[in-house]
Amino acid sequence: MRVLLVDDEPIARRILRQELDCFDGVEVVGEADNGESALLKISSLDPDLVFLDIQMPAMGGFELLSHLKGGRMPAIVMVTAFDQHAIRAFEDGAIDYLLKPVSQARLQQSIERASRLKRDPKALAENLATLQQIASAGSVADSRVRKIVGKAGEEYFLLDPDEVLAFQADGELVWIITRKQRYLATQNLKTLEERLSTGPFRRIHRNALVNINQIRKMSMITSQRWLVTLNNGQEFIVSKRQARNVRDVLHR
């Protein structure tokens, strides 16, 4: 596994290089401190895997990704101190997203993922093509939303909208609720509502956005108060302000 490190901070590159030295079969073939230099080294060194920082002078990580079109593509793992860029990283074709400081366990997962894709170059091309198609999901009211990014522990997952039962805000956090588990969303509730406005998701409370296709039961509490039960048994109270959204469901 031939690896290129791209980060404008020498200390960050040195630490990552030291961590990678612990893995058999991994060779750091070069380093770059900005996107322009990285493009040249990707062309000349032909790495299998690039650990790419996002914020760099001259050319940042996302700008570099926009220049990697056609030809043999290395697997890209974004490495950053900021978690708010996760969805864009996956949209632009990264196979993983790591937060600094990077743990050994997460680094190993990224290497194993890249190794699997290296053994099957066609799978890598298909993986990148699929992820890059997700880019349309970032626009407002886009009916082509394909994936929702959720975080569980230190890993990021691409979820199909149909498998999401609801989004629930808890202070500044937003939880993605599926049948099996909860994930931490990478966007706030308002942004999610706008992205998913052409689909089956409806706001039923200032803290909740539900998939109406996942509603099992609706119970009237008062003329303007409802209790919604989802297919996983979780219940939500509908606010008076959003009661119309529930009534609309009844007339579908």
Query: How do residues 34-61 score in pLDDT, each as one tens digit?
Result: 999 999 999 899 999 999 999 898 888 9
Strands lying side by side in the sheet with 96-99: 27-32, 2-6, 49-53, 75-80, 96-99
Assess whether the previous peptide bond of 101 is cis (omega < 30° from 0): yes
| 2-136 has CATH 3.40.50.2300 classification | yes
User: What is the Cα–Cα distance from 102 to 13, expressed in whole angstroms?
Assistant: 12
Write the pLDDT tens digit of every residue in 148-206.
888 888 788 888 888 999 999 988 889 999 998 999 988 888 888 888 888 889 888 88
In the chain, where are the structural domains located? 2-136, 148-250
Answer whether 0.75 is exceeded by the pTM: no
Pick the CATH number of 148-250 from 2.40.50.1020, 3.20.20.140, 3.40.50.300, 1.20.120.160: 2.40.50.1020
